[in-house]
Amino acid sequence: MTTEDTTTETVAEESSNDPTNDDMLIQTDVSESVSASGTESTRTIVESRNVNVWYDDDQALQDISMEIPENQVTAMIGPSGCGKSTFLRCINRMNDLIDAARVEGELYLGGKNVYDADVDPVALRRRVGMVFQKPNPFPKSIRENVLYGLKVQGIEVDEDEIVEQSLRRAALWDEVKDRLDESGLELSGGQQQRLCIARAIAPDPEVLLMDEPASALDPIATSQIEDLIDDLAEQYTVVIVTHNMQQAARISDKTAVFLTGGELVEFDDTQKIFENPESDRVEDYITGKFG
Amino acid sequence: MGADNLDDSLTTQTENSPRELLARSFFFVCAFVSILTTVGIVFVLVTEATTFFSETAGLRGVTGPTVSIVDFLTGTEFSIASEQFGVLPLLSGTLAIVVGAAVIALPLGVATAIYLSEYADPQTRKYLKPALEILAGVPTVIYGYFAVEYITPLLERYLFPDIGFFNALSASIVVGIMIIPMVSSISEDAMSAVPDDLREAGYGMGATKFDVSTGIVVPAAISGIFSSFILAISRAIGETMAVTIAAGASPKLVEFGTVGAGPVSVPYPDPAYFLEPIQTMTSAMVQLLFSDITGGGVAYRSLFGIGITLFVITLIMNVLSDWVASRYQEDYD
């Protein structure tokens, strides 16, 4: 069950110029992993080493080690209960909010283990945006929704500019530009989800986590979200959990296949996973023999 | 079962079977009895009140003194001995109790609700919430004696040496304590009903617990919180025993001072009112019932004039509560 055998060697460390990010050291990965397109060279932004998660006595993740490349879309697929969402929530420590959850192992964002004692989960979540399964805009105006992250971080910005820019990136601007002061709850489900994406990218996070962002939406809204994810990958690292294999195949550069028991069975370029997986179990899952 | 029997078995009328019929009638009677009681009370209140007001007393064939509605609502003196029945001094007393109680109970109640809903771990909440609700179960007469025996002496010793033995301040403090559980319990229910999705969205954006509690959960639960305020205020308006014991029996209209001068002078109620004995609408009614007034006399009938005024005020509060609840209700589905 080897996932990836790339050897990581740190050759340079540069600290980000963002003051809130002093301790986030960027680790450069010299082994150039090859993306689905086969040409881009990338570096690792998120790296997990032997991450195990328990909910009380039930183990939800077993020894997950993987490297998620920067500015690409990494999909996590697998049957229900395989731990893919749990892994996603390890990255921004949302699992901390669940009393019963216990995380062991190391998970690096840039060069910093986010489970180090001195890491503030609130500060971490300010660098890692998240979009949830069910659209969950705040019962506030569209504008306030977009500005929420900046507001809680106390960052002074040109509000009109950020609102327009974020909503444009989320492909929602044209639909809502005349009603920015209406409640976010007035929007349709697909629009709400794009608002949530605009809200997540407004503070300009390093990584954008998406937990089945289209599963509560109709096919048209789903395809809008998929197009959007494609565009977002130009500027952001996107990690997306999906139970829809076609969706993973369409939008991702890399795919991780989790199977029952919280095991990461295979992690590779999306094309390889779908065309010629190493593992028979993955092949069975992809071709629909189980799961 | 053969096809012959099919018609019979499909046409069995279960809806009107004896058991269903009996059950339906029983539940209907139960519901009807409480409605009937309410209607009966309102009916008595209205018919008795008509014997008090001079505008309607003639129609009821009442002889003897009556009071016009205008004099009743605008009169600044309430005195049984001199047959002056102006409701304003009593309304002023009731308002003082309500304002004092609200100043204490609304912030404390909401803060308690935030703690219970957002900060307390499940174990703490399991014990704390019922403990708090015991406050609501303490007989109000005990609150009255608590005010007289403990709160007034404390206020006299440390804050206001000139405070009356009976005073509005200690009464409003105990009424405030009395209604905290109402505010906190209803507000906590409203906050707990806020979907976790919204909290997760907040935490996912890098919000702190304080940001999520005050910036997301409280606004999302605001309709329930406002409803709790209005219900608690209704309770304070109607509170009788504690204020009868602690606030005294001296109907008194609040005096107004002014700030500023000339055209910009703004009147404000004199806070010294809180240190004096007063009388509320409810305690005036208690006094009327227990004093040596002849049944059928104008003093006796004034009881119903005050009663219907009180009823109208609390009715308005209830309607307001429903309106607020529907106006600010957020639909999350």
A78 touches chain B (CB under 8 A): no
Task: Determine how many CB atoms are found less than 10 A away from the CB of residue B255.
Answer: 11
Asked whether the beta carbons of B305 and B49 are under 8 A apart, the reply is yes
Instruction: For residue A213, give the nearest of A222, A205, A203 by alpha carbon.
Output: A222
For residue range B180-234, list pLDDT tens digits in order: 999 999 999 999 999 999 999 999 999 999 999 999 999 999 989 999 999 999 9
* Same domain membership, residue B188 and residue B43: no
Q: Report the number of distinct structural domains present in chain A.
A: 1
- All residues of chain A having their beta carbon less than 8 Å from the beta carbon of residue B195 are 136
Q: Is residue A121 part of a domain?
A: yes
The confidence score (pLDDT) of residue B330 equals 63
The confidence score (pLDDT) of residue A129 equals 93
Q: What is the pLDDT along chain A (291 residues), one digit of tens a residue?
A: 444 444 333 333 333 344 444 444 434 343 344 444 444 557 889 999 999 999 998 899 999 999 999 999 999 999 888 889 999 999 999 998 888 899 999 999 988 999 999 999 999 999 999 999 999 999 899 999 999 999 998 888 899 999 999 999 888 999 999 999 999 999 998 999 999 999 999 999 999 999 999 888 888 888 888 988 988 888 899 999 998 888 999 999 999 999 888 889 999 999 999 998 998 889 888 888 765
SS3 label, residue B11: coil
Instruction: For residue B318, give the nearest of B226, B231, B236, B237 by alpha carbon.
Output: B231
* Same domain membership, residue B101 and residue B188: yes
The confidence score (pLDDT) of residue B164 equals 85
Chain A nearest C-alpha distance from B219 (Å): 8
- All residues of chain B having their beta carbon less than 8 Å from the beta carbon of residue A132 are 197, 200-201, 204
Q: Report the number of distinct structural domains present in chain B.
A: 2
B219/A122 CB distance under 8 A: no
Q: Is residue B20 part of a domain?
A: yes
Instruction: For residue B97, give the nearest of B247, B297, B300, B250 by alpha carbon.
Output: B247
Q: Where are the alpha helices (DSSP H) in chain B?
A: 6-10, 18-50, 54-57, 69-74, 88-114, 122-137, 140-146, 152-158, 168-192, 196-204, 209-212, 218-220, 222-238, 241-246, 281-290, 298-327
* Same domain membership, residue B87 and residue B46: no
CATH number at residue B89: 1.10.3720.10
Distance CA A239, CA A273 (A): 17
Q: Is residue B70 part of a domain?
A: no
Q: Is residue B11 part of a domain?
A: yes
The confidence score (pLDDT) of residue B332 equals 56
* Same domain membership, residue B200 and residue B128: yes
Question: Token pair for residue A226?
Answer: 């998929």
A123 touches chain B (CB under 8 A): yes
* DSSP letter (8 states) at residue B292: S
Amino acid (one-letter) located at B252: K
Q: Is residue B150 part of a domain?
A: yes
CATH number at residue A13: 3.40.50.300
Q: Is residue A291 part of a domain?
A: no
Structural domain boundaries enclosing B41: 2-52
* Same domain membership, residue B110 and residue B22: no
For residue range A13-43, list pLDDT tens digits in order: 333 344 444 444 434 343 344 444 444 557 8
B201/A140 CB distance under 8 A: no
Instruction: For residue B240, give the nearest of B283, B270, B199, B202 by alpha carbon.
Output: B283
Q: Is residue B71 part of a domain?
A: no
Q: Is residue A129 part of a domain?
A: yes
* Same domain membership, residue B141 and residue B238: yes
The confidence score (pLDDT) of residue A4 equals 40
pLDDT less than 70: residues of chain B: 1-4, 294-296, 330-333
* Same domain membership, residue B120 and residue B212: yes
Q: Is residue A13 part of a domain?
A: yes
Q: Is residue A109 part of a domain?
A: yes
A185 touches chain B (CB under 8 A): yes
Task: Give the ipTM.
Answer: 0.81
The confidence score (pLDDT) of residue B324 equals 83
| Burial status of residue A11 (CB atoms within 10 A of its CB: 0-12, 13-18, 19 or more) | exposed
Distance CA B158, CA B216 (A): 40
A228 HSE (CA, 13 A, CB side): 29
Q: Is residue B244 part of a domain?
A: yes
Question: Token pair for residue B87?
Answer: 């409701």
Q: Is residue B67 part of a domain?
A: no
The confidence score (pLDDT) of residue A93 equals 93
* Same domain membership, residue B235 and residue B304: yes
* Same domain membership, residue B82 and residue B46: no
The confidence score (pLDDT) of residue B295 equals 67
Crossing angle for the helix pair B281-290 and B88-114, nearest 10 degrees?
A: 120
Quick one: closest CA in B to A92, which residue?
A: B204
The confidence score (pLDDT) of residue B256 equals 85
pTM of the model: 0.80
Structural domain boundaries enclosing A193: 2-286
Chain B nearest C-alpha distance from A123 (Å): 6
* Same domain membership, residue B231 and residue B84: yes
